Amino acid sequence: TYAARRNGGIQRAQQLGYRIYSPEEERCAYDLSLQPEYRRPDGRSDSKAIALELNRRFHDGEAVRTPLNITRTLYRYRQLLQATPEVS
């Protein structure tokens, strides 16, 4: 199943030394992307500033998250939000 393949992929990535996003970290990145101080003048998210803040908050300042990584993660997170029906 999809869930089993995904969990296998996550476990393998961790074995290779990658740090997987926690749900809290993904949500924080998304929330930061909505704040004006984390947006560029053209209105797009400032991935560099978001990466610096996530590294400060979640990784003791170590450069774990990169701007490109943030851009990809925000794209996937937004796609997930659009695909998830709202519960009333």
Q: Under a CB-based contact definition with an 8 Å cutoff, are residues 76 and 36 in contact?
A: no
- Interval 21-73: pLDDT, tens: 999 999 999 999 999 999 999 999 999 999 999 999 999 999 999 999 999 99
Q: Which residue has the higher pLDDT, 71 or 19?
A: 71
Q: How much is the pTM? A: 0.82
